[in-house]
Structure 1
C-alpha cells in the first residue's frame, strides 16, 4: 500500500540499452510510448542532475505517456561507468552527443535537462543544434552558484567537497556518502509541506544520492556544476527553448531565470509556484503538462 502523500509505484517499463563511450560501458533506460494516443510525438532524451541518476526523472517520464523517453545514467553515476578523463561539462556534453548517435536518435529529438543536466543539455544544444528539435530545461542553472543571496549555501557546499577531497580516501568517501549530510541536503531542497511526500523525497535521496563510482567522479562533477551555467550559451540556442523555473528555487533566483529567458532568442519561461529545486519530485505532472503544451505548439 502506498503511504499517504507518496506517489504511486512507478509502473512504466523500459528496455535497458548499453553503449560504449571512450571505452566505457554506459547505460540508458529506453521507455516506449505507454499509449497509442500520441502517434507522431517526438522522442525525449533526458539528462538528470548532479549526484542523481535516472530514478530522479521517472515521475516526469510517467507523466509523459505519449512519448518514447530515453534516460541514461550520467557517466560515473548510477549504472554509468566512470570515464577515463575528467568529468567536466565538456566530457558530459560529449557523452550526450555520443548517446544520441549510439541510440539512433534523429533530429526530431527533444532534449531535456534538469538542474546540472540543464547545463549539459544547453551546451550540447549550442554546439550541435542539428541534433535536436527543441530544448526543455527544468530548474535551469541560470546564474553562477557562488553569486547572489544563496551564495553562502553554495560556498558551504564547496567547502564540504573540498574537505572530502583533502581527506584520505576512506574518510573522504564516508563524508561524501554521509547519511546525515544527504538528509540535510534533502531537507533543504524539499519545499512541500506534505509529510508523506517529504518522506518519499528523503527516501529517494537516501537511495540514489550516493550512487557514484568514486570520489574523483563526484568531485569533478561538483566542480563542473559550479563552473558553468545555461547563461553561458543562452544566446547560441537556435531552437525553441522551454524554461520551467520554480518560485522557491534556492539555486536559481526568479530574477536570474527572467534574465536567462531574455538572453535566449526563442524562449518561453514558466514559473511553478510553491516549489523549489525539486520540480521533478514535487510537481512532475504540472511540469509534464507545460512540456506537452509547449511541444504541441512549438515542435516541428
Structure 2
C-alpha cells in the first residue's frame, strides 16, 4: 500500500483508540495516546513500530502513572516534514511535543532506538530523571557495519520502489509473522501482529523507518554516555539476536548510574511478549528511586 495510513481506515483496529489524539507541533503532526493518572511517563517505541508496541504495558502502569505514547515522526499515524530525522532532531521534536502538552516527564521508557532517543533527550536538556531502556539500541553496528548499514538504508530510501516492494512482500499472508520471528526472536499476540501487518504493509511507514536508519548516528551518544548523571535501567533479553548483549553491558558500564537486567527466554520484543513483567520492572525501578530521593 503506497498511500498514507488513515486513522479512520487502518486506525479503526488500533489498540486503545479512544485514548488517541492528534497534536500539531512544529514540523510534525503527532499521533499520541495518553492513559492513566499520576506522574507522566513518556513511552518511546523503536524503529518500524508504533505506540501499539506499548498496548499492554500502558494499562498495567496507568493506575499510578500518566502514560504518554506517541508514534515517532513519520511512523504509523504521525506525519513529519522538514528533512532528515536524525537522533538529535528526533529528541528536539519530542521535547517540543512535551512543551506543547505542558508535560515534564518523571521518567522516559524507550524500546530499542527509543532508548537512544530517551538518553539524547536527557543529555540535551541536562536533566537527571530516570530512563528505562528495553533491548536498547545504543551502539553502532560493529566494524564495517557501522558505515555500510546506514549507507544501505540510504540507498534503499532514495529508491522509491523499495518501500513499496517491501510493503508488498510484508502484506502477503503469514509473511509478517515469519519476518518478526526471524528478526526479533519474539512471539507476540494476534493483536500486536495485526498492527505490524498494517504497518509493514504500508510503503510510507516503511520509508520512514528506512529514513530513520539512514540518518541514525550513535557514535556521539556513545561518547557522552559517561556524562549522563540520571539513573538508568537497561533491560535486555537473552534471545535478542538483533542487539548483542555485550553492547548493552558496555553501555551499562559507561553510564555513571546504571543497572542491567537480563530476561531469560525472550526476544527483541520482550515488552510485548511479557508486558506485565515489563511493567513490573518499570514500577520496581521507579519505586526504588523514589525511596532514595
What TM-score, normalized to structure 1?
0.79
Residue of structure 2 equivalent to 1:206: 197
Give the deviation of 1:162 after TM superposition.
5.1
Match of 2:9 in 1: none
Quick check: 1:240 aligned with 2:219? no
Q: Within 1, Cα distance between the matches of 2:157 and 2:17?
A: 39
Q: Provide the rounded CA distance (Å) in 1 between the counterparts of 2:139 and 2:243.
A: 7
Segments of 5+ residues of structure 2 without an aligned counterpart are: 1-13
Which segments of 5 or more consecutive residues in structure 1 lack a partner in the other structure? 1-8, 34-40
Q: 1:12 to 1:285 in 2, by over 3 A?
A: farther
Match of 1:114 among 111, 115, 122: 111
After TM superposition, give the deviation of residue 204 of structure 1 in Å: 3.4
Q: Provide the aligned length of Structure 1 versus Structure 2.
A: 272
Asked if 2 retains the 8 angstrom alpha-carbon contact of 1:165 and 1:215, the reply is no
C-alpha deviation, 1:55, in angstroms: 0.8
Shift of 1:158: 6.5
Q: Distance in 2 between matches of 1:67 and 1:212?
A: 35
Structure 1 pair 128–296 and aligned structure 2 pair: CA distance change class (3 A):
same
1:64 aligns with 2:61: yes
In the aligned structure 2, how far is the partner of 1:213 from the partner of 1:98?
Answer: 24
The answer as to whether partners of 1:137 and 1:243 remain within 8 angstroms in 2 is yes
* Alignment partner, residue 293 of structure 1: 284
Task: Compute the RMSD of aligned alpha carbons.
Answer: 3.0
TM-score normalized by structure 2?
0.80
Per the TM alignment, residue 203 of structure 1 is displaced from its structure 2 partner at its CA by: 3.0
Counterpart of 1:20 (choices 21, 25, 29) is 25
Match of 2:3 in 1: none
C-alpha displacement at 1:172, in angstroms?
A: 2.4
1:26-65 alignment runs, 5 A limit: 26-33=30-37, 41-65=38-62
Q: Contact (CA 8 Å) 2:184, 2:269: kept in 1 or not?
A: yes
Partners of 1:217 and 1:19 lie apart in 2 by 18
